[in-house]
Amino acid sequence: MRLSAARGLDAAVGALEMRLLPRLQRAADEPHFAAVRAAIQPAFWVMAATTIVVYFFIPPQPLVWRVSDLFVRFLDAYHIGFGAMGVALMILLANHLALRLHYNRTAAIILTALAFALSLPRPVPLSPLVLLGTLSASSLFLAIIVASVTGEMMRWINRLVRNQAAALAGSALAVIVVFEGIAVLLAPSHQSIADVLLAIVKPMIGVGDTLPALLLIVFLQVLLWTAGVHGPGFLAALTTPIFLGAIDANGQALLRHEIPPHIVTITLFLFFFPGGSGATLSLNLLMLFSKIPRVRRLGYASLLPSLINVNEPLIFGLPLVMNPSLTIPFIGVPLVLATITYLAMYFGLVAKTVVFLPSAIPVPIGAWLTTNGDWRAVVLVLINIALSLVLYAPFYRSFEETLRAEPDQEAALVKTAEAIREHELAIERHPESAQNDEGEVQA
């Protein structure tokens, strides 16, 4: 009875994934989503890190460094760094959109930069650091909107005007008319496009700072991964500016000796994604004791990446992609851990996150650092890992039993995952091949 019920559930999940997969892959290949996913890459974070380091060490320097001074300086620096992220994203996104939509990349970057400049608060501060601090995390939304609108204008003008010089002139004129026109219309209210977007972002941060919104984001991220679509990358255009804005607000509140206002920030995901999306560190630990040689070897090979929250070797190697036996815990476990984490911070059992950290930092260390040294955060992370281990175990045992009983199924799962991964890599290597001359997504 149990076996037939499990097979029936596997069949239902498998059918759902088979129906969703083509739609999700087509959506993931859509040029704007794909461009944002490609733009939020190491170069994007390197720009922020460089700005933080430069700002941290510029004069005036205090005569005596204290730990409290260092922390305050760091919070000021990464507030500026978030603004630099927007500038980097604007450049990278303009480049990736031009690559996918087939128009001049150099011109796209120049015109997007012009549109970005026309969207800034006026008068524009003379100091670049002051400007970056004014924009901070809202610069990400500004970059996405400006690059997308500029890209669409260039794409349509290039369709209508075949002469390249005339198309570039028309694109430049369109950018000036549209963005300067909006700036003129907003001038009587002493607002800029950046100000309007900042006003939009603030309530979105408030909506995102709720348990239902958090669970929805977590659910979508892991659901997308089950179909081989990079969930965080797919949702990055919406979630990154909102959750970066939330942690920036928390850091600034700490500087003012106020209680950080937001629970859901970009660093909160460390708590309920130990090992990466799906909370797969515990699954990796179970694999170390597998009776199936291939699975056990994969467990050892992927352990180090799992410790720094990189789990693509498991997603495409075990695989978790299109694997109905593990879909339920892969989706359900993070939802449970996210609820526990949210409630722990809501009731003040654990400090809120106040510092942005890269996801590659091991979870216990990252949890301690991002909560400004709260030891209870480390305890919460360890509880989450232990609980995920308990929740994954029965599904994993059932998965192993299925593989031993039906060895061909393992080969089929791996083949499917490899095909999906090859598709993703092909798009990354040759993004222009995902579009035809008219800019439509190919089947």
Query: Per residue in 152-207, pLDDT tens?
Result: 899 899 888 888 888 889 888 999 999 888 888 888 888 888 888 777 777 777 77
And the tokens for 176? 């000036």
CA distance 187 to 88: 27
In a domain, 193, yes or no: yes
3-class SS of residue 441: strand
E strand or H helix that includes residue 125: none
* Residue 214 and residue 120 in one domain: no
- Is residue 12 scored above 80 in pLDDT? no
Kindly state the average pLDDT of the residues 371-383.
Answer: 93
- Comparison of pLDDT for 60 and 103, the residue scoring more: 103
| CA triple 293-297-298, angle to 5 deg | 115
Domain limits for position 330: 1-28+209-443
- pLDDT given at position 255: 82
- pLDDT given at position 437: 41
Name the pLDDT band for 439 (thresholds 50, 70, 90): very low
Which positions ≥6 away from 304 have C-beta within 8 Å? none
For the chain, percent of residues with pLDDT exceeding 90: 23
Kindly state the average pLDDT of the residues 91-99.
Answer: 88
In a domain, 221, yes or no: yes
* Residue 245 and residue 156 in one domain: no
For the chain, percent of residues with pLDDT exceeding 70: 79
Kindly state the average pLDDT of the residues 379-401.
Answer: 93
pLDDT in tens, 316-355: 888 888 787 888 899 999 999 999 999 999 999 999 999 8
- Is residue 219 scored above 60 in pLDDT? yes
E strand or H helix that includes residue 323: none
Handedness of CA 17, 19, 21, 23 (dihedral sign): negative
- pLDDT given at position 110: 92
Question: In this structure, are residues 116 and 146 in contact, taking their beta carbons and an 8 Å threshold?
Answer: yes
Which positions ≥6 away from 296 have C-beta within 8 Å? 287, 288, 289, 290
**The residue to which tokens 């999940």 are assigned:** 13
* Residue 108 and residue 51 in one domain: yes
- Is residue 17 scored above 60 in pLDDT? no
Q: Report yes or no on whether pTM surpasses 0.75.
A: yes
- pLDDT given at position 404: 80
Single residue among 203, 236, 259 that ends a domain in this structure: 203
CA distance 443 to 434: 9
- pLDDT given at position 101: 82
In a domain, 346, yes or no: yes
Handedness of CA 109, 115, 121, 123 (dihedral sign): positive
- pLDDT given at position 443: 32
In a domain, 33, yes or no: no
* Residue 337 and residue 392 in one domain: yes
Single residue among 183, 203, 223 that ends a domain in this structure: 203
- pLDDT given at position 223: 85
* Residue 199 and residue 216 in one domain: no
In a domain, 433, yes or no: yes
* Residue 118 and residue 227 in one domain: no
Question: In this structure, are residues 439 and 101 in contact, taking their beta carbons and an 8 Å threshold?
Answer: yes
In a domain, 34, yes or no: no
In 3D, which of 97, 137, 127 has the Cα closest to residue 115?
Answer: 97
Name the pLDDT band for 293 (thresholds 50, 70, 90): confident
Number of domains in the chain: 2
pLDDT in tens, 31-41: 777 777 777 76
- pLDDT given at position 240: 81
* Residue 215 and residue 309 in one domain: yes
CA distance 174 to 157: 9
DSSP state for residue 178 in the 8-state scheme = I
- Is residue 411 scored above 70 in pLDDT? no
Least confident interval from 100-109, 210-219, 262-271:
100-109
Single residue among 203, 229, 261 that ends a domain in this structure: 203
CA distance 315 to 232: 14
pLDDT in tens, 235-288: 877 788 888 888 888 988 888 888 999 999 989 999 999 998 899 999 999 999
- Is residue 144 scored above 60 in pLDDT? yes
Name the pLDDT band for 384 (thresholds 50, 70, 90): very high
- Is residue 435 scored above 70 in pLDDT? no
* Residue 50 and residue 15 in one domain: no
CA distance 395 to 329: 7
* Residue 79 and residue 22 in one domain: no
- pLDDT given at position 441: 37
Amino acid symbol at 80: I
